[in-house]
Structure 1
Amino acid sequence: MIPPAVLRAFGVAAPARPLDGGQGTSWTAGGLVFKPGGGRLHEWLGRVLPGVAADGFRPAPPVRTRDGAWEHDGWSATRWVPGRAPDTASVSAWVEIIRAGRAFHRAVAHLDRPDFIDARQDAWAIADRAAWQERDIALHPQLAPVARRLLAALEPLGPAQVVHGDLTGNVLVATGLAPAVIDISPYWRPPAYAEGVVVADALCWHGAPPSLPETVQVPVAAVARGLLFRMATTSERHAAGAVTEAALRDEARRYARAVAAIGR
C-alpha cells in the first residue's frame, strides 16, 4: 500500500486505490498515478516530455513533489489519463495500438539517445541486445530451435531513435480522445521494431490472425526481431527463476505458432 507520507509529499489528500494491470503495484489518488521506483527513467521523462508535441496521442507526464523532487520514499507519480485497454480480440484494436505508437514515435524522433539505456541490465534490456546480436546469450533449449528459424528473416529496419518497446499493454482508448500512451519503456531502436513487438504479442497471446502484419503494414523482419526479443526475455526470466517450467513450455508453443504464422 502507498504510504500516506508519499501522498502528502505530492500534495494529495484523497485516499488511494489500487489499479489493475501492470505488475500490480500502481495506485491512483488525486488525479495522479503512483508507482514504486522511477529513477533515471522517470527523471528523463519529466525533462523531455514537456518538449514533445503530443499530436495523435496523450502522454501521462511525470509530476514533481511539492518540494520539486521526482520521487519521495521510493515512489514516483504521473498524471492520470482517462482510458481503458482496447479489446485486443478485435483486429481494429491492433490497428489503433500501432497508430498510437506511430504518432508517439513521430513526436519523439528528435530526442537524443538517453544515456541510461546502456546501463540497464534487467532481463528486458539483455533480451533486447540479444535480439539485435549485440550480446550473446544461451537461449533455453526449448526456444533456441524456434529462434534459429527467424534468423533468415532479419534485415535492416531503418535508423534508430527513442521508441516505446512495450506498447501492447500501454495504450488506452477513450471515446472522443486520442489514445493514451503510458508507462514508456524507452529503447534506442527503429520504430518498426517496436511495432514488431506489438505484432509478436498479438500473434502469441491474443489470437491475432496471420494476416495481421500485412493489415497493420509491419514487415515480417520487424515481427521476427520482436519475437526474438520476447523469446530472449522468456529465457532470461526463466534462468532467473521468474518463469516456471510449465510457463516456459506454454510460451515456447506460442512462439512456435507465431513463427509459423509469419512463414518461418
Structure 2
Amino acid sequence: MTVLHAFGVDGPARRLAGGQGTSWAAGEVVLKPDGGALHEWLADAFADVTCDGFRLAAPVRTRDGAWGLQGWSAMRWVQGAEPDYSAVSTWQEILTAGRAFHRAVARLRRPAFLDTRRDWWAQADRAAWAERAIRFVPEFTALARRLEEALQPLGPPQLVHADLTKNVLFDPGLPPAIIDISPYWRPPAYAEAIVVADALCWHDAPSSLWRTVDVSAAAVARALLFRMATTNERVLSGDQGADLQDEARRYDLAAAAIGL
C-alpha cells in the first residue's frame, strides 16, 4: 500500500494479463517493477513528443516528485484492447500506428543506457546486426546462414519501438495506444519487420503479408534473425522453456514466405 499511496492511488491493485505478468493496475495507474533508467528516460524524452495518430501512456511521478519508488514505476492507464490478430487489416493498423510513432520520435537522441543492456533481447539484437558473435544451436544453424545471406542495409537508425506486435491497443473513436515501449536504435523498417515476423511465426498470417504491408524481405530476414537469436540466448543461458523444434519450424516457414 505504501507504493500505491506514493503514486496517488488508494484503491486495490489487480494483476494485468499479458507481457511478463508483472504489471498491476490500480485506479488510473499501471505499476511496473524495475523501470530504472528506461522509465526515467521515457519520462523526460517523451515530454515534448507530439502524439499525432497515436496515444501514449504518460509516466506518473510519486507525490514527492520521483519517477520511481522501491523498484516500482507508474504510467497512466490508457483505454483500449488488443485487436483481432487473425485479420490482415490488424497488421496494417499496427504498422500504421508504429509509423506515426516513429515519425514523432525521429528527432530524439540515442539514449546512453542502450549500451549497458545485457538482456536476451539486447544481445540478440546486436547479433542480428553483426555487432557481436553468436553461436546458434544446431536447430537454427542452417536457417541462420540463409537469413544472413539475405540481409541488406535498411536505412539510417533512430529510436524505434521494436516490440509493437502486442503493444498497440485499439478503441473505437480513439487513436491507437502504444504501450510498453522497447527502445532500440535501429532503422524503422526493422521495427516494422519484427511485426511482420511475429505475424508470420505466431499468428498464422498469410505468407503474402510482407508484400501487403510493404515491408521488404531483407527487413523481415533480419527480424527473423533477431527473434531466433533471442530464443538462442534464452537456451544458452539455461532457460528450458523453449520448444526448439517447434520454433525452428515456425521460423523456417516464415523464411519460406519471403522466398528464403
Paired letter, 1:257 = L
- 8 Å Cα contact 1:197/1:226 also seen in 2: yes
> Superposition pairs for residues 201-240 of structure 1, below 5 Å?
201-240=198-237
From 145, 165, 168, the counterpart of 1:168: 165
> Superposition pairs for residues 145-160 of structure 1, below 5 Å?
145-160=142-157
- 8 Å Cα contact 1:234/1:243 also seen in 2: no
Q: Deviations over 1:37-65 (max 9, x none)?
A: 10100000000111100000001121110
Structure 1 unmatched ranges of 5 or more: none
Paired letter, 2:247 = E
Q: Deviations over 1:211-231 (max 9, x none)?
A: 101111011111001000000
> Superposition pairs for residues 47-196 of structure 1, below 5 Å?
47-196=44-193
The equivalent residue for 1:262 is 258
- 8 Å Cα contact 1:45/1:61 also seen in 2: no
In 1, Cα distance between equivalents of 2:134 and 2:7: 42
Q: Does 1:45 align with 2:26?
A: no
The equivalent residue for 1:36 is 33
In 2, Cα distance between equivalents of 1:203 and 1:86: 16
The root-mean-square deviation of aligned C-alpha atoms, in Å, is: 0.9
% identity of equivalent residues? 65
Structure 2 unmatched ranges of 5 or more: none
In 2, Cα distance between equivalents of 1:78 and 1:64: 9
In 2, Cα distance between equivalents of 1:58 and 1:170: 12
The equivalent residue for 1:253 is 249
What SS does the aligned partner of 1:150 have? helix
How big is the shift at 1:244?
A: 3.3
What SS does the aligned partner of 1:51 have? coil
- 8 Å Cα contact 1:155/1:221 also seen in 2: yes
Structure 1 runs (4+) greater than 2 angstroms displaced: 241-245
- Count of matched residue positions in the alignment of Structure 1 and Structure 2: 260
Say if 1:244 and 1:15 are closer, same or farther in 2 by CA, change over 3 A. Answer: closer
In 2, Cα distance between equivalents of 1:95 and 1:241: 36
Q: Deviations over 1:212-264 (max 9, x none)?
A: 0111101111100100000000000111222436x122111110111111100
> Superposition pairs for residues 6-17 of structure 1, below 5 Å?
6-17=3-14
With the length of structure 1 as denominator, give the TM-score of the two structures. 0.97
